[in-house]
Amino acid sequence: MTITLNQQLLDLSTPRVMAIMNLTPDSFYDGGQLKNHEQLLAKVQQFIDEGASIIDLGGYSTRPGAVNISVEEEMSRVVPVVQLIREHFKNIPLSVDTFRSQVARSALEQGASMVNDVSGATADDLMLDLISEYQVPYVGMHMRGTPQTMITLTDYQDIVFEIRYFFSTLAEKAAKRNINDLIIDPGLGFAKTIAQNFHLLYHLDAFKLLDLPVLIGLSRKSMIYKTLNTTPENALNGSSALHMAALERGAHLLRVHDVKEAQECIKLYTQLRDAAS
């Protein structure tokens, strides 16, 4: 498994870490923490030092019930940060976490090199055409409804089959547009109950049939801290435990708040995997 990122091949045979950089005031774990340029750049340097392969910038909170902000406000949060990081860090690949093609286009114009779309191209009909135009990797996530409505849309007959079918359809749309680097994300926490999240994670290897890289985003989510009767702030150990489970079931990318600990999971996983050969 490889993707082309910043005009270079990124080999996913060893799993990689995508670092989360929230530029929102209301994200469930670390919203509002980065208050100035110095803190932003220091965080980027930390992510790089700890081994992140990609930094994912998000200006729209997608936690359940989050406020729906305008395109203009989302752009004002994201685009200047892309510019700032590019002025100081030329090589680290930047992903923009957005379901709006207008925001994605502006970020790509300023030096982002990947798009992470929680709607899986269902929220904006122009998104896949934009990806085809720029020929950048695209993460398509499964979600029903919107962050404002998704908690009411958890009725599935066969959740693994239905989500795999969603991705096969997305792959067909991408192929018609000559999109080369499609990455799929089953969307843990998005229009799924806690039990459904664990069911999906347990059956993650069912998505190997699609022959596409798989991204998993479970870092500090409610499936962990509610199960453990704790808080997002105290959910690092649980995140690491489930990251190992995801790796064992075929995850190629881990989208995380805590890069160092995720890299440790990957190092231990690859050592264990290679011991079998």
Backbone angles phi, psi at 170, to 5 degrees: -60, -40
Find out if CATH 3.20.20.20 is the number for domain 13-275.
yes
Per-residue CA distances from 2 to 37, 73, 181 (Å): 33, 34, 8
* 152 Cβ contact partners less than 8 Å away, ≥ 6 residues apart: 145
* 251 Cβ contact partners less than 8 Å away, ≥ 6 residues apart: 15, 204, 214, 215, 216, 243
Residue in 16, 221, 249, 267 annotated catalytic: 221
Tokens, residue 154 = 């958890």
Q: How many CB atoms lie within 10 A of CB 205?
A: 12
Separation CA 236–CA 51 (nearest Å): 18
Nearest alpha carbon to residue 160 among 249, 38, 269? 249
Domain borders along the chain are 13-275
Residue in 255, 260, 267, 273 annotated catalytic: 255
pTM: 0.94
Strands 215-216 and 253-256: parallel
100 catalytic, yes or no? no
Residue-by-residue pLDDT tens, the chain, 277 positions = 899 998 899 999 999 999 999 998 755 445 556 768 888 999 999 999 999 999 999 999 877 767 789 999 999 999 999 999 999 999 999 999 999 999 999 999 999 999 999 999 999 999 999 999 999 999 999 999 888 888 888 999 999 999 999 999 999 999 999 999 999 999 999 999 999 999 999 999 999 999 999 999 999 999 999 999 999 999 999 999 999 999 999 999 999 999 999 999 999 999 999 998 7
Q: Which amino acid is at 102?
A: Q
Token look-up 């080369």 returns 180
255 catalytic, yes or no? yes
